[in-house]
Structure 1
Amino acid sequence: MTAVLERTLSYSSSIPRAHVHRAAICEVFLTDIICESYPRFRLGVQLPRVHSYYSDHNIVVRQYDPLLLLETFRQASILISHRHVDAPLDAKFVFNAGALEVVDLDAVRVGPAPAAGVLDATITAEKRRGADIVGITLAMTLALDGSAAATMSMTIQWMPGDAWDRLRQKGRAPLQLDPARPHPLHERVEPREVARHSFDNVVLSRIGVDGDTVRSQVLVDQAHPGLFDHPLDHVPGALIFEAMRQTALVAAHELFGLSPRMLVLVGCDAVFESFGELELPTDCAAVAEAEICARQVVLSVTLAQEGRQIAHGRVTLQRVSASTAALDRIVR
């Protein structure tokens, strides 16, 4: 009888950066991929314990940033598309929708050693054009050191470069893009208002409160090494998710008097309706949906450019208990 050895995931190096559309090797968080039996996959993950963007949080617990987990899920979707769904390496990708949930806050705590991550992914739907697959929907779960940490559903699609160019030209044609409206980077809000240490990682300015709605202007800093790892011709999804989170934090403080330092993101979903143009100001608005059991605040968030809605979604923030904060200080 011949024994069949099951391949194990490798954590010895990152996968090629081109396979997840990153320019910097340090921004690649996947180490390996195994196709168990199509459409099921397992991926190796190693998250940075210190990062200039993802670790820059002025909160009372030390954890892996949920948006770092989201970026890892995004990279997994791209890698699966290239390696196992025949998406060409030069294809242009569109992020249609995504929903992230942190299922265990203890599992996302940063420990004394790099966490061994295993990401399980299943393709649950395919978008076809004729005989070709041009998009997929994925259900994914990330476990860190054996404990389920987060889940995400994500829908993406891709197209050839010439089709992308036609799509972008058609979308941009009716817009008034010239002259470009400058982004007031010098008007960033104070980092503590969005639970950050560094001004460089603040993406909001011009906060306003109108009844139960908190509004902000989103700052697009194309020199930011994390949010703009490589040149883009549109506002990236990573910046939109960060703007949603920061606006939600400001809204939780303005509407409920909650300290941003005592809030962690445990859920975030978004539907991307159209491209955000770099030349236009981007406005974000947050409205409280509900306060659940005095522990969570749920906010509906929309982003628009000069009256044209480009994305909408929901952010769920959870309060950190005093005992959890005290325990984290002891552990550190």
Structure 2
Amino acid sequence: MHFVPPLALPPEPRSLQDPWNGLRFDHPVPRETVHKYEASEVLLTDAARLEEERFAVGAAWHRDHFLDDQGGRTSDPVLLAETARQAAIHLSHRFHEVPYGHHFVLGELSVELTAPLPAPGTAPLVLGLDTRCLRTDRHPRRTRLELDAEVHSRAGRLGRARVRWEVLEPRRYALLRKRGTADACAAPAPEPARAVPLSPSRVGQRRDRDVLISADPARPERWWLRLDLDHPVLFDHPSDHIPGMALLAAFRQVALATTADRSRYIRSMVTRFTSFGELDLPVSVTAERVGDADGTGREVELLLRAEQGSHELASARVISALPCADRRLAGATC
């Protein structure tokens, strides 16, 4: 068990100091409240309602997590995305009365950063999320919700995270999955030919099992998803489909391999999920450079698509940026 020191609240803006007073940062929330089997995979530490749809959420990041960048200088934005995903699940159960046993179906998971994320040191990196979480549609058997959070550390505001999801009761989910499986089998995906796994260092990892993509020698803009169904993080608990976080983490690795510039950081990553992915069929990921996001060459925008046969599973727009050499620069000059 790790000890997490109390949150050092950001000095600005002052109005955000009070929401995190009284929250705990020394112990994770119960693992079942974020749909994790291992307590070590729980990133949240506490949450409290501030207003009808506004919540304060505490989180703590530790070193050497699979979803974290292994370079040691910054944290991976995928770790922030997972934190937001866990916050969406936790708030749904705790404050929106969503029953356990219902299924959460991701629609969107996005992060937007103001600067590279700081990395945990010998002590955990503690975060505060000023969060709005609300229902956008009500139905006797299904509920749509969305979460929008400003993310802060002791250094100040880090950026924003957004999650959109739908909750389905078990019977409706089973019908949806049955139809999706039939559609996937009707249009089987082509087998990858001579796909070559990338080295861990090329995608910011240290272990072979954490590499989620293979290169396609015939098409340099295409990659193939590598799934390890025994992966202790991505498959922390059994799943009947490809987890959304596996696709998002694969998108991150493709973006890193495509730009081939480790000095860049992910400034924005907007991921939308459209179909369930079957575990036993290949998934291709294509990367298209759609231009310079700011017209200066400092930012590169990629459009990524994950497909299984004729079905698109997810897409992402990823903007990578060079960090400012002078942190006093801002806006268009940065």
- Cα deviation 1:297-327 (Å, max 9, x = unaligned): 1100111001211111211112357899xxx
Shift of 1:79: 0.5
Per-residue CA distance 1:97-139 (angstroms, 9 max, x = gap):
122112232x524345322311111025522115x77121111
**Alpha-carbon distance between aligned partners in 1 of 2:105 and 2:172, rounded to the nearest angstrom:** 12
Which residue number corresponds to residue 286 of structure 1? 287
The match for 2:205 is: 196
1:75 is aligned, of 76, 81, 86, to 86
Aligned length: 307
Instruction: Report the CA distance shift for 1:177/1:304 in structure 2 as closer, same or farther (over 3 A).
Output: same
Taking structure 1 as the reference length, the TM-score comes to 0.84
**Match status 1:90 vs 2:104:** no
Corresponding residue for residue 256 of structure 1: none
Matching of residue 115 in structure 1 with residue 118 in structure 2:
no
CA RMSD of aligned residues (A): 2.8
Cα distance per residue 1:192-240 (max 9 Å; x no partner): 3223222111111133575xx7110111111111111111111111111
Q: Which one of the candidate residues 150, 159, 172 is aligned to 1:150? A: 159
Distance (Å, rounded) in 2 between the aligned partners of 1:220 and 1:47: 25
Question: Contact 1:125–1:138 at 8 Å: present in 2 too?
Answer: no
Partner of 1:46: 60
Q: 1:290 to 1:283 in 2, by over 3 A?
A: same
Structure 2, unaligned runs of 5 or more? 1-17, 328-334
Given that 2:225 and 2:250 are in contact with CA atoms closer than 8 Å, whether structure 1 keeps it comes out as yes
CA 1:84–1:146 in 2, change beyond 3 Å: closer, same or farther? farther
Change (3 A) 1:133 1:84: farther
Equivalents in 1 of 2:170, 2:320: separation in Å?
Answer: 38
Aligned to 1:327: none
Q: Does residue 299 of structure 1 match 2:294?
A: no
Which position in structure 2 is the counterpart of 1:167? 176
> C-alpha distance in 2, partners of 1:27/1:204?
23
* Structure 1 portions without partners, runs of 5+: 254-258, 325-332
In 2, the alpha carbon distance for the partners of 1:189 and 1:162 equals 40
**1:308 lines up with 2:323 in the alignment:** no
For 1:66 and 1:185, locate their aligned partners in 2 and report how far apart those are by CA, in whole Å.
31
Rounded to whole Å, the distance in 2 between the matches of 1:56 and 1:41 is 28
Moved more, 34-43 or 315-324: 315-324
Q: Which residue of 2 aligns with 1:272?
A: 273
Looking at structure 1, the residues matched to 304 and 283 of structure 2 have their Cα atoms a distance apart, in angstroms, of 13
Tell me the residue number matched to 2:236.
229
Length-normalised TM-score, structure 2? 0.83
Q: Distance in 1 between matches of 2:278 and 2:189?
A: 10
